[in-house]
C-alpha cells in the first residue's frame, strides 16, 4: 500500500475520532459539571443524555443565521472559520503511538512527522489569536471588543511561560519532532521509575509541567482564566454577536484547542504512550483490568438498578466494556491498542482536570490575571529553565 493511501486512511480515522471526542467532550463536561454541582446534567435526549451532542448540532444548524447590521461583514464571516480551521490543523503532527504493523504494513500512529513538529504547533496555535481579535473587532460591539482585547493580551502573556516551559523540557529531549520527544522518555530508572519528563534526571520537569498546564488553561480561555467570555461582565465576550453555526465554531475550536493542549502535555511531560511501569511488571494488562472492572461495576449496578431503565442500559455497557477488555488480550491487537490506551488515559486524565478545575475554581480578576502571568509564572518558568540548563550541562 503506498504512503499516500495510508495517510488518507489514517487521516479519516483521526478525523472520526477527533470529531467524536469533540462532540462528547462537551457532553462529558456538562455531565461532570452537573455531578460536581449535584445535578443530573443532560438526561433527556437518549440514555444518559448520550445523544445530546447530536441534538445540539441539529439545533445549531437550523437556527436563524443572524447577520447584525452594524458589523464588518467580511471579517465577521472569516473569524469563526479561522478559529475552527486553525484549531484542527495542529492535530496533524501529533503522534498517538509508536510504529505498528497492521496487515503486514508498517506505519506510525501519526498523520505526518515534521522534524519541527512542536514549533509548528506553537506557530499555528498563536495564529489562533487572530480569530478572537477579528471576531471581537468585526462585531462592533463593546462587550465583544473588550472580550477580544482581553483575550489577545491574555493569550500573548501566557504564551511566554508556555514556550519557556516547553524549552526546558526540550533541553533534555533535544529534538522538536514530537515522535522523538516521546521516544526520548522511554525506559525506566531502577527498572520501574518511568523516564517521563516529569521524573527524568537530572532535573525532573514537574515545575515546567505545572507552568505549562496553567498557561494551557489560559491559552484555551478556560476557567479560571475565562476573562474573555466572563458572563457576568461581558455577556459572552468576543462571540456575543454570533449565532447559529458560527457560534458553534468558536466552541468547537475551544474544545479542539483543549485536546491539542492535553496531547502536547502528554507527549512532552507524561511520556506519551509509554506506560507508567514496565511491561515486565504487567503494565500491558492494565487496559484489560480497567475495562473488566468497569464491566463488573456496570453489571452490578445493572442487576441492582437505581432506576428502571438501568436494568437494560447498564448490562449493555458491561458487555461493551467486556469486549473492549478482551480486545486488549488478543496478541495482534494488544500491541497496537495498549500504547493508544496509555496515550488516551493520560490525555483523558488531563481533559478531566480541565473540567474538574472548571467545576471548582472561581474566576480571576483581570489585573490579577496579568500580574500572575508576568510576575509569577514567567519568572518561575525562566528560573526553572536556568536551573535545568545548568544541571543538564553539568551532568550530561
Partner 1 sequence: MDSPYFFIVLLMLAAVAFALTPLALAWLWAKFFSPRKPGPDKNATYECGLESKGDAWIRFKSEYYLYAIVFLIFDVETIFLLPFAVAFGGLSAGAFIAMMIFLLLLVEGLVWAWKKGVLTWK
Residue 5 binds partner 1, judged by CB under 8 A: no
CB of 194 to partner 1, least distance (A): 21
Task: Put residue 191 in one of left, alpha, beta given phi > 0 → left and psi -120 to 50 → alpha.
Answer: left
What is the Cα–Cα distance from 144 to 149, expressed in whole angstroms? Answer: 9
Residue 67 binds partner 1, judged by CB under 8 A: yes
CB of 368 to partner 1, least distance (A): 8
Among residues 235, 299, 326, 353, the one that binds partner 1 under rule CB under 8 A? 235
Secondary structure (DSSP) of 302-330: HHS-SSTTHHHHHHHHHHHHHHHHHHHHS
Subset of 99-118 contacting partner 1 (CB under 8 A) = 111-115, 118
Residue 152 binds partner 1, judged by CB under 8 A: yes
Among residues 24, 130, 285, 366, the one that binds partner 1 under rule CB under 8 A? 366
Are 52 and 45 in contact by the 8 Å Cβ rule? The answer is yes
Contact window for partner 1 (CB under 8 A) among 24-32, 40-48, 146-154, 190-198? 146-154
Contact window for partner 1 (CB under 8 A) among 244-252, 273-281, 295-303, 335-343? 244-252
Residue 41, CA distances (Å) to 29, 137, 292 in order: 9, 35, 27
CB of 370 to partner 1, least distance (A): 5
Residue 240 binds partner 1, judged by CB under 8 A: yes
Long-range interactions of 99-102: CB distance < 8 A, separation 24+: 100/335, 100/336, 102/336
- Torsions phi, psi for 211 (to 5 deg): -60, -45
Collapsed DSSP state (helix, strand, coil) of residue 353: helix
Neighbours of 44 (CB within 10 A): 9
Among residues 11, 17, 210, 391, the one that binds partner 1 under rule CB under 8 A? 11
Diameter over CA atoms, the chain: 67
CB of 152 to partner 1, least distance (A): 7
Subset of 36-65 contacting partner 1 (CB under 8 A) = 57, 60-65
Among residues 166, 213, 350, 377, the one that binds partner 1 under rule CB under 8 A? 166
What is the Cα–Cα distance from 112 to 105, expressed in whole angstroms? Answer: 16
CB of 24 to partner 1, least distance (A): 17
CB of 31 to partner 1, least distance (A): 23
Residue 137 binds partner 1, judged by CB under 8 A: yes
Subset of 327-356 contacting partner 1 (CB under 8 A) = none
Among residues 139, 205, 266, 313, the one that binds partner 1 under rule CB under 8 A? 139
CB of 323 to partner 1, least distance (A): 30
Subset of 263-322 contacting partner 1 (CB under 8 A) = none
Burial class of 25 by CB neighbour count within 10 A (0 to 12, 13 to 18, 19+)? buried
What is the Cα–Cα distance from 366 to 221, expressed in whole angstroms? Answer: 13
> What track of x and - describes contact with partner 1 for positions 74 through 93 (by CB under 8 A)?
------xx--xx--xx--xx
CA angle 247, 249, 255 (to 5 degrees): 115
Amino acid at each position: 500500500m503506498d504512503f499516500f493511501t495510508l495517510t488518507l486512511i489514517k487521516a479519516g480515522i483521526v478525523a472520526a475520532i477527533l470529531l467524536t471526542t469533540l462532540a462528547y467532550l462537551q457532553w462529558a463536561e456538562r455531565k461532570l459539571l452537573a455531578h460536581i454541582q449535584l445535578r443530573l446534567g443532560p438526561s433527556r435526549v437518549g440514555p444518559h443524555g448520550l445523544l445530546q451532542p447530536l441534538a445540539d448540532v441539529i439545533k445549531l444548524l437550523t437556527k436563524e443565521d443572524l447577520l447584525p447590521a452594524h458589523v464588518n461583514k467580511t471579517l465577521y464571516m472569516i473569524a469563526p472559520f479561522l478559529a475552527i480551521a486553525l484549531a484542527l490543523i495542529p492535530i496533524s503532527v501529533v503522534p498517538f503511538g509508536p510504529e505498528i504493523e497492521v496487515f503486514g504494513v508498517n506505519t506510525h500512529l501519526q498523520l505526518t512527522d515534521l522534524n519541527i513538529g512542536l514549533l509548528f504547533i506553537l506557530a499555528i496555535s498563536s495564529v489562533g489569536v487572530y480569530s478572537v481579535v477579528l471576531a471581537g473587532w468585526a462585531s462592533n460591539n463593546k462587550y465583544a471588543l473588550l472580550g477580544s482585547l482581553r483575550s489577545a493580551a491574555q493569550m500573548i502573556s501566557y504564551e511566554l511561560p508556555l514556550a519557556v516551559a516547553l524549552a526546558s523540557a526540550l533541553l533534555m529531549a533535544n529534538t522538536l519532532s514530537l515522535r522523538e520527544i516521546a521516544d526520548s522518555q522511554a525506559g525506566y530508572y531502577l527498572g520501574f521509575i518511568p523516564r517521563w519528563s516529569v521524573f527524568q534526571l537530572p532535573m525532573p520537569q514537574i515545575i515546567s509541567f505545572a507552568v505549562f498546564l496553567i498557561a494551557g488553561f489560559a491559552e484555551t480561555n478556560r476557567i479560571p482564566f475565562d476573562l474573555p467570555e466572563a458572563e457576568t461582565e461581558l455577556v459572552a465576550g468576543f462571540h456575543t454577536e454570533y449565532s447559529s453555526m458560527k457560534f458553534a465554531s468558536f466552541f468547537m475550536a475551544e474544545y479542539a484547542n483543549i485536546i491539542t493542549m492535553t496531547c502536547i502535555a502528554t507527549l512532552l511531560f507524561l511520556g506519551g504512550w509509554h506506560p507508567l511501569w514496565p511491561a515486565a511488571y504487567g503494565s500491558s494488562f492494565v487496559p484489560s483490568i480497567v475495562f473488566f472492572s468497569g464491566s463488573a461495576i456496570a453489571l452490578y449496578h445493572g442487576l441492582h438498578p437505581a432506576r428502571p431503565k438501568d436494568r437494560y442500559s447498564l448490562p449493555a455497557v458491561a458487555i461493551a466494556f467486556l469486549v473492549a477488555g478482551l480486545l486488549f488480550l488478543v496478541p495482534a491487537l494488544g500491541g497496537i491498542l495498549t500504547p493508544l490506551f496509555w496515550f488516551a488515559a493520560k490525555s483523558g486524565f488531563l481533559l478531566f482536570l480541565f473540567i474538574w478545575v472548571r467545576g471548582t475554581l472561581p474566576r480571576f480578576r483581570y489585573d490579577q490575571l496579568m500580574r500572575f502571568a508576568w510576575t509569577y509564572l514567567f519568572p518561575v518558568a525562566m528560573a526553572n529553565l536556568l536551573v535545568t540548563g545548568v544541571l543538564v550541562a553539568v551532568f550530561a
